[in-house]
Chains A and B, each alone.
Chain A
Amino acid sequence: MTRTLAFTREQLRAPFTLVLLIAVPLLFVLSAAGTLHDFSSALGGSLAGDAAVALSAGWAAAFLSGALGFFEAASSRGADRRLALAGLGAAKVAISRIAASITLATVAAVTAVAALELRGGVAHPWHAVVAVIAFAWLYLAVGVLVGSVISDPLTGSLIVVFVFMLDVFSGPGMSANAAPWAISRKAADVLIAAGLGKSSSTGDWLALGVSTAVALAAAFFVFALSARPRS
């Protein structure tokens, strides 16, 4: 707990982190939803107005969480490894680092949902909350995973952005045939349904939970692997 708090404080002490955590989701949801609808129509997708608004919250939280996860893992890699080697162990450092990232990603997700409410609300708000948090955690995992193996800020952030763009433009709503491998596909399905006032099936909820858990487990595994002692 002490370590997680310390790592969270570390991120929040960066001058613009807190500002970005609030400003990015807010601005994106308030300004980009209409554009998303136009994009969707141009690409042959079926994203209706309400669904586009809801989905914009998910993508805002995802983008911010991916960037946060990457920079948190990459920028403190040396010190984290030193702490692990000092006797704490790679697994404990990984848990603390990911827990700190989850805290911040959740703040981004909650801000995004609050922006949704500001924009007029969503038919199933609690479904939207869960789906947006899932978006945030999925991309947090992507960011941590990339940050665990690539320390160069430019290369790493470009990879996170590339994954995000590929996911956005091949996911449900934006494409007539959503790619089955799209990372946030289930989160998007649930969020679109919430925006349209429909309930998601148990299978969708289950798939959402499993995909998020698998992503976080993969991030933990790769982070711990990169921080382990070499022999």
Chain B
Amino acid sequence: MRSEGVQEISVDPTLVGVTFPASSALDDAVGEPTDDESPVRASKGGVVLNVTGLSKRFRSGPPWRRRQVDVLDDLSLEVRAGELVGLVGENGSGKSTLMQAIVGLLGRDAGSIDRPARLGYCPQQPLLWDKLTVAEHFTLFATAYSMSEADGRAAAASMLDELQFARYENYRVERLSGGTRQKLNLALALMHDPQLLLLDEPYSGFDWETYLRFWEMSGRRRDQGMGILIVSHMLAERERLDRIYELRNGRAVLL
């Protein structure tokens, strides 16, 4: 979501099979679009998210009774293009904090985060304007993603169709059910075809059919080369994921 590219990348070439020049940034790892390939399909396997030594602590209380909670402590993880990576952990283990730090909603106390400029973020609680319609949300976010008016309209139509909530296009968010809000929340993160997609429990409120469709969508995008990091709780979902990190004592442990 940052407009600038990624400054540094440190990737083990043996893992990804390609060598990344330090100046290429993650955007280059994805490659230029071609006639028959989507932008993300071009370089499946490149690292699209690299978190190194990330620490985040929260402080509360007055100075003479200051309490400090270390939520993330020297955490490292990576996500590659074409991977669906799960993030699990107990309540309060720091999953949402990690997501927010990656996106830039929260600052960090230490560590580095290398991520592409074209990022999609679906927060746990839908961050929407209650009085604006679904269509108005798409218009605003299309502008934010620097999409042309035509591309924005096409992307919105595609999202409405794929998540099957086109009939609510002109409804205000305040009149939508929780599940439909969550669809919009997800659609806004996906509409610009991001290189990296961060999903923080995106399916809360979905009915079973939508839940299954969500995993189909995620799998399809993963196959097209999108890197996806998803906060997940359910054991049944683990077989859908390529890799799983568990947050333990502030660190990401690969399961």
Contact = CB atoms under 8 A, between A and B. Distances in A.
Given A11-B131, A229-B1, A2 B172 contact: no
A85 to B, nearest CB: 4
A85 B3 contact: no
A76 B143 CA distance: 18
A89 B3 contact: yes
A85 B106 CA distance: 11
A13 B172 contact: yes
Residue from A78, A82, A88 with most neighbouring chain B CB atoms (10 Å): A82
A88 B132 contact: no
A76 B129 contact: yes
A3 interface: yes
A6 B132 contact: yes
A230 B104 contact: yes
Contacts of A9: 131-132, 136
Contacts of A14: 131
Contact of B140 (A6, A78, A85, A89): A6
B150 interface: no
A3 B104 contact: no
Contact of B139 (A6, A81, A230): A6
Q: Per DSSP, are chain B's interface residues mostly helix, strand or loop, or mixed?
A: loop
Contact of B1 (A3, A10, A86, A231): A86
Interface string A69-105: 0000000101101111111110000000000000000
Contact of A83 (B107, B117, B140): B140
Interface in A38-82: 76, 78-79, 81-82
A85 B132 contact: no
Contacts of B103: 85, 229
B27 to A, nearest CB: 13
Interface of B: 1-3, 101, 103-108, 117, 121, 123, 125, 127-129, 131-132, 136, 139-141, 143-146, 172, 188
Given A9-B136, A86-B121, 17 more contacts: A3-B143, A6-B136, A9-B131, A10-B131, A11-B131, A13-B172, A81-B105, A81-B127, A85-B103, A85-B105, A86-B141, A86-B145, A87-B145, A229-B2, A229-B103, A229-B105, A231-B107
14 contacts: A2-B143, A9-B132, A10-B131, A76-B129, A78-B127, A85-B2, A86-B1, A86-B121, A86-B141, A86-B145, A89-B3, A230-B101, A230-B105, A230-B106
